[in-house]
Chain A
Amino acid sequence: MVENTNILGELKGIAGDEHATSDKHIMYAYSYDMCFVPNKLPKYVVQPANVEEIIEIVKLCNKTKTPMIPVGANTNIGGLCIPKQENTLLIDLRRLNKIIKIDEETRYAVVEPGVSHAQLAEALYSKGLRFGWPVGPPSGTVMGCALCHGISGMSGRYGLNSQMITSMEVIRPTGEMCRVGSCALKEDSWHSFLPLPRMDGLFTGWFGTTGIVTKIGIYTPAVPPHVDVVTTSTEHISEMYKYMLEFGRYEMADDLTAVNWWLSQSPIPYPYKEKPADEHKWNSYAVLYGYTEKELEAKVDAFNTVVKHQQELGSSVLKTEYPEEAKRGRTELPSQIIGSTKNYCKEAGGGISWPGTFTPANKWEEVYNKWEVIYKNRNLSPATRVTMYRGIHYGMLRAMTPINKQSPEETENAKQAIVEALGAILDAGGIPYKPPTDFNIEINKRANPGYLKLMEDIKDMIDPNGIMNPGQLVVR
Chain B
Amino acid sequence: MEWDFRNIDDEGKLNLKHFFWRCTACGTCRSGYTYGPPPTFRKICPQGEKFGFQGFFGSKGKAALARWMTGCSYLTDEKFEYTPEFLNTLYTCTECGGCQNQCMIDFKPHIIDTIEAMRAKAVQDGKGPLQDHHVLVMSMKNNDNPYTGPRAIRAKWMKKISKTSNLKDINKESSPVLYYAGCTPAYNAPVRDLALSTVSVFDKIGLDYGALGKKEVCCGSTVLRIGERDQFERVASNNLEQFKWLHDERGVDTIVTSCAGCYRAFVEDYPHSDAYKDCMDGIRVLHTSELLYEKFKNGEWEPTKEVKMKVTYHDPCHLGRHLKEWIIDWDGVKQWEGSYLDCVDKGVFEPPRELIKAIPGIEFEDMKRARNNSFCCGSGGGIKTAFPDWAAENAAMRVEEAMETGAEKIISCCPFCHANLNDGAKVIKSGCNTMDLIELLDKAL
- Assembly CA distance A26 to B41 (angstroms): 26
Q: Are B35 and A335 in contact (CB under 8 A)?
A: yes
On chain B, the residues within 8 Å of A122 by CB distance are 38-41
- Assembly CA distance A122 to B339 (angstroms): 31
Q: Are A139 and B27 in contact (CB under 8 A)?
A: yes
- Assembly CA distance A139 to B28 (angstroms): 5
Question: Which residues in chain A, 1-55, are within 8 Å of chain B measured between CB atoms?
Answer: 18-19, 21, 23-26, 28-34, 38-41, 45, 47
- Assembly CA distance A31 to B89 (angstroms): 17
| B126: interface (CB < 8 Å) | no
| A73: interface (CB < 8 Å) | yes
Q: Which residue of B lies closest to A126 (CB)?
A: B38
Neighbour of B83 across the interface among A24, A34, A94, A139, CB < 8 A: A24
| A116: interface (CB < 8 Å) | yes
Q: Can you offer 21 A-B residue contacts whose CB atoms are under 8 A?
A: A23-B83, A24-B68, A24-B83, A25-B83, A25-B85, A30-B55, A32-B75, A73-B27, A74-B54, A92-B53, A116-B30, A118-B31, A122-B40, A138-B31, A139-B26, A139-B27, A334-B35, A336-B102, A340-B24, A349-B106, A351-B24
- Assembly CA distance A125 to B34 (angstroms): 12
On chain B, the residues within 8 Å of A309 by CB distance are none
On chain A, the residues within 8 Å of B69 by CB distance are 25
Q: Would you give the 0/1 interface string for B45-74, flagging 1 where the beta carbon is closer than 8 Å to chain A?
A: 000000111111000110011011100111
On chain B, the residues within 8 Å of A257 by CB distance are none
Q: Are A341 and B104 in contact (CB under 8 A)?
A: yes
Q: Are B76 and A26 in contact (CB under 8 A)?
A: no
Q: Are B78 and A336 in contact (CB under 8 A)?
A: no
| A137: interface (CB < 8 Å) | yes
Q: Which residue of B lies closest to A120 (CB)?
A: B41
Interchain nearest-CB distance for A409 vs B (Å): 11
- Assembly CA distance A32 to B55 (angstroms): 12
Instruction: Find the residue from A41, A137, A140, A340 having the highest chain B CB count within 10 A.
Output: A137
Contacts across chains A and B counted by CB atoms under 8 Å? 166
Q: Are B22 and A75 in contact (CB under 8 A)?
A: no
Contacts A28-B67, A346-B105, A351-B24 given; does A21 touch B78 at CB 8 Å: no
| B86: interface (CB < 8 Å) | yes
Contacts A28-B68, A29-B64, A40-B76 given; does A137 touch B27 at CB 8 Å: yes
- Assembly CA distance A75 to B52 (angstroms): 16
Q: Which residue of B lies closest to A36 (CB)?
A: B75
- Assembly CA distance A137 to B57 (angstroms): 15
4 extra A-B contacts, CB within 8 A, seeds A140-B27, A334-B33, A341-B105: A26-B56, A34-B24, A125-B39, A347-B336
Q: Are B54 and A75 in contact (CB under 8 A)?
A: no
Q: Are B55 and A336 in contact (CB under 8 A)?
A: no
Q: Are B76 and A346 in contact (CB under 8 A)?
A: no
Q: Are A41 and B52 in contact (CB under 8 A)?
A: no
Q: 5 shortest A-B CB distances, which residue pairs?
A: A29-B55, A139-B27, A29-B64, A406-B21, A39-B75
Q: Are B52 and A47 in contact (CB under 8 A)?
A: yes
Q: Are B39 and A121 in contact (CB under 8 A)?
A: yes
| A352: interface (CB < 8 Å) | yes
Q: Are A75 and B25 in contact (CB under 8 A)?
A: yes
Instruction: Find the residue from B37, B40, B78, B102 having the highest chain A CB count within 10 A.
Output: B78
- Assembly CA distance A350 to B31 (angstroms): 20
Interchain nearest-CB distance for A345 vs B (Å): 6
Neighbour of B25 across the interface among A32, A125, A335, A336, CB < 8 A: A32
- Assembly CA distance A334 to B33 (angstroms): 9
Interface residues of A, Cβ cutoff 8 Å to B? 18-19, 21, 23-26, 28-34, 38-41, 45, 47, 73-75, 92, 94-95, 116, 118-119, 121-122, 125-126, 136-140, 332-337, 340-342, 345-347, 349-352, 405-406, 408
| B36: interface (CB < 8 Å) | yes
Mostly, the B contact residues are: loop
- Assembly CA distance A139 to B102 (angstroms): 11
Q: Are B55 and A26 in contact (CB under 8 A)?
A: yes
On chain A, the residues within 8 Å of B56 by CB distance are 26
Interchain nearest-CB distance for B293 vs A (Å): 32
On chain B, the residues within 8 Å of A74 by CB distance are 25, 27, 54
Interchain nearest-CB distance for A84 vs B (Å): 14
| B18: interface (CB < 8 Å) | yes
Interchain nearest-CB distance for B323 vs A (Å): 21
Q: Are A118 and B78 in contact (CB under 8 A)?
A: no
Interchain nearest-CB distance for B374 vs A (Å): 18
Q: Are B76 and A28 in contact (CB under 8 A)?
A: yes
Neighbour of B78 across the interface among A28, A125, A346, CB < 8 A: A28
- Assembly CA distance A74 to B53 (angstroms): 11
Q: Are A92 and B54 in contact (CB under 8 A)?
A: yes
Q: Are A125 and B36 in contact (CB under 8 A)?
A: yes
Q: Are A34 and B75 in contact (CB under 8 A)?
A: no
| B335: interface (CB < 8 Å) | yes
On chain A, the residues within 8 Å of B22 by CB distance are 346, 349-350, 406
- Assembly CA distance A94 to B75 (angstroms): 26
| B23: interface (CB < 8 Å) | yes
Contacts A125-B36, A336-B28, A352-B24 given; does A119 touch B55 at CB 8 Å: no
Q: Are B26 and A341 in contact (CB under 8 A)?
A: yes
- Assembly CA distance A408 to B73 (angstroms): 11
Q: Are A39 and B76 in contact (CB under 8 A)?
A: yes
On chain A, the residues within 8 Å of B106 by CB distance are 346, 349
Contacts A34-B24, A75-B25 given; does A28 touch B73 at CB 8 Å: yes
Q: Are B64 and A337 in contact (CB under 8 A)?
A: no
Q: Are A345 and B24 in contact (CB under 8 A)?
A: yes
Contacts A25-B85, A118-B41, A137-B28 given; does A45 touch B75 at CB 8 Å: no
On chain A, the residues within 8 Å of B336 by CB distance are 347
On chain A, the residues within 8 Å of B76 by CB distance are 28, 31, 38-41
Q: Are A29 and B54 in contact (CB under 8 A)?
A: yes
Q: Are A350 and B23 in contact (CB under 8 A)?
A: yes
On chain B, the residues within 8 Å of A140 by CB distance are 27
Interchain nearest-CB distance for B188 vs A (Å): 30
On chain A, the residues within 8 Å of B28 by CB distance are 137-139, 336, 341
Interchain nearest-CB distance for B47 vs A (Å): 13
Contacts A41-B78, A122-B39 given; does A28 touch B55 at CB 8 Å: yes
- Assembly CA distance A167 to B52 (angstroms): 28
Q: Are B25 and A25 in contact (CB under 8 A)?
A: no
Neighbour of B41 across the interface among A33, A39, A121, A346, CB < 8 A: A121
- Assembly CA distance A195 to B39 (angstroms): 35
Q: Are A21 and B53 in contact (CB under 8 A)?
A: yes
On chain A, the residues within 8 Å of B89 by CB distance are 23, 25-26
Q: Are A137 and B26 in contact (CB under 8 A)?
A: yes
- Assembly CA distance A95 to B50 (angstroms): 11
- Assembly CA distance A306 to B293 (angstroms): 60
Q: Are B33 and A118 in contact (CB under 8 A)?
A: yes
Q: Which residue of B lies closest to A403 (CB)?
A: B24
- Assembly CA distance A75 to B33 (angstroms): 16
On chain B, the residues within 8 Å of A138 by CB distance are 28, 31, 33, 41
Interchain nearest-CB distance for A116 vs B (Å): 7
- Assembly CA distance A352 to B54 (angstroms): 20
Q: Are A347 and B25 in contact (CB under 8 A)?
A: no
Q: Are A125 and B38 in contact (CB under 8 A)?
A: yes
On chain A, the residues within 8 Å of B25 by CB distance are 32-34, 74-75
- Assembly CA distance A342 to B341 (angstroms): 12
- Assembly CA distance A346 to B103 (angstroms): 11
Contacts A23-B86, A30-B54, A350-B22 given; does A337 touch B104 at CB 8 Å: yes
Instruction: Find the residue from B41, B51, B78, B339 having the highest chain A CB count within 10 A.
Output: B41
